[in-house]
Amino acid sequence: MELLLSLPPYMLETIGLLGFALYVMNYGLLTLQWLNSNCAIYFAINLTAASFVLIGLAGSFNLAAALIQGFWVVMSILGLIIRLRQRRSRLA
């Protein structure tokens, strides 16, 4: 955590904006049906986006925003676990 707080504010903001861009890209890919929610990559992108936004919040903390990002991290990890287990059971 100390490492994050030692980053310049513009870097934290840039990381947070990158997270936003990943969210928007992922939603666009889902909407255009270039990606579907049964794909592990969908959850990996969501996990990365939420993590980046959480890092961005280190510079300007907001509890509500941190809670929703924490929710997305947990749900994305669960989604990844489920999809990867399904893939492994299909291969077995």
**pLDDT confidence of residue 59:** 87
- In the chain, domain spans: 8-91
**pLDDT confidence of residue 87:** 86
Chunked mean pLDDT (size 10), the chain, 92 residues: 82 96 97 93 97 94 96 97 90 78
**pLDDT confidence of residue 1:** 66
33: left (phi over 0), alpha (psi -120 to 50) or beta: left
Neighbour tally for 65: CB within 10 Å: 15
pTM: 0.90
